[in-house]
Structures are given as structure tokens and as C-alpha cells.
Amino acid sequence: MNAIILAAGKGTRLDGAAVKPKCLVQVGGLTLLRRQIDALRNAKVNKIVVVIGFAGESIREECGGDITFVENVDFAHTSSLYSLWLARDLLTEGFVVLNSDVLFHRQLLIDLIESSHQDALLVSYVDKETPLGAEEMKVKVKDELVVDISKEMDPFDADGENVGIVKFSAGGAKLLIEYMDQLICNGGATEWAPRAFLEFSRHHPLHALSTRGLPWIEIDFPEDYERAVDDIFPKLSIQETLPAQHQTSAEGDFQLQD
């Protein structure tokens, strides 16, 4: 099984200037990208592919060796569906895909990979009395299967939020590639990757795997970063040993631009 980390975007919503990719933002002394790579290797996933675009050389330097790179040279005019489609030749053995701007408890990744369900998507279930906002990628679930996934969904129809970590078996990957081919051919290069997951779910079982309340956060805006540092990171129970080259002070990990 390969792991695909989608890291091509600029992330201007986080600092207003995109001085560096979101995946290189540090939380607790490690970049989000380094945390994801370490979590994958902890889960015995060693075939790691990173789709790069903006500031790709900086991402290459952070990753070090034993990483395969796919470059989205048109990152400024495309979105995550196109980035995943560019890596299609590396998906055929089955894969897990991660949005690079997600900080998460490592057990979530282990739960997903070890799940008996061949094709599955992590869902953070929500209280219907406190619906999600317009920004979240919302998921509707029936009988533990994804039946809809969209940002445009009525928040009161949503059962949970897409975490941004999904796995497909070899068979599922082959079908997903076909759906991505169709979407790209029909002008879908600016769509988010979950658009392809939705198309898959309309024809094949895509299981919704609960986060079980384990901590995670997608970092899009400054307030997300603050919550990641102040709330989510302290809840991550796995103690990580920081390699010397990645150690920094807890303060000043990331400075927003004035």
C-alpha cells in the first residue's frame, strides 16, 4: 500500500501571503508534513508519495530520503482532485491519501489502515444541534456508508466532517482512477478530491469510519492554527521523540504575516 500526501497548494488563507506551504507549519516542534510521514511509518506504511507544487523544493528538503515526489506544476489553477489524479500510476496497489494540512492522533491512521473495510473514509461525527459551517467538507452517512460528501451540503443534513484521510484497496483504487479520469476529462481539475470519493460512493461501498472522538484538526485559518497548538496538540497522547534537526522552541513555531 502506498501513501499519497497532497501538498501542492499555497495555503494563502492561513497567513495571507503563503510564505511557505501549510504542511511546513510547525506544531510542537515538528512540521505537519513530518508528523504525517512519521505516523505513516509508525503504521508500517513506507511507500510514501508526496504531491508537491508551491515551494516544492522546501518540501523535498523537509521530507529527506525514501520519498517519491509527483509535481503539480499547475497547482495555482487546480485543486486536490487534480493532484491526486497526477499520482494515479502510483495508486494501483491500493493506497491511503492524506491532506497535508491535517494534525491528527496517530491511532486514527492505524484504525483506518487496519479496518476490515477495504475502502473507507474517516468521519468525525457531529452533534446535529451544533451543525458544521460552510467551510467544512460535510459527510452524510447511512448504514455506516458514505452517501454524500460536499462542502455545499445543508449542514443540518450532515452527519459528520471529512477528516481528509481515506483508504482504497487495489480494486477500489482502479475504480477511483476511472472516476477521476472522467471528472478531469469533464473539466474537474479545480474540484476537491472528495468529489471523486463521492462518485465512487454512488456506485460502490465507501465505509464511514468514526474518529471515536480522537483529536484532529485541519489547519486552514489562523484560528485553526491557534486551536491546533493550544487544544489539539496537548491531547495527542503519543509521545514523540524529536530528532535534533527538527527540534525548535514551543513558541514562535509559526508567525503570521502582518
Assess if residue 251 is contained within a domain: no
Query: Which residues in the chain show pLDDT less than 70?
Result: 13-19, 237-258
Calpha distance 255→151 (Å, rounded):
29
Number of independent structural domains in the chain: 1
Assess if residue 213 is contained within a domain: yes
Assess if residue 247 is contained within a domain: no
Assess if residue 249 is contained within a domain: no
Assess if residue 82 is contained within a domain: yes
Assess if residue 170 is contained within a domain: yes
Calpha distance 193→99 (Å, rounded):
10
What pLDDT does 20 receive? 81
Calpha distance 146→1 (Å, rounded):
22
Calpha distance 52→21 (Å, rounded):
10
What pLDDT does 15 receive? 63
What range defines the domain where residue 160 resides? Answer: 2-10+19-237
What pLDDT does 19 receive? 60
Calpha distance 222→229 (Å, rounded):
11
Assess if residue 253 is contained within a domain: no
The model carries a pTM of 0.90
Calpha distance 147→107 (Å, rounded):
25
What pLDDT does 149 receive? 98
What is the CATH number for 153?
3.90.550.10
What pLDDT does 250 receive? 37
Specify whether the CB–CB gap between 68 and 50 falls below 8 A: yes
What pLDDT does 258 receive? 31
Assess if residue 49 is contained within a domain: yes
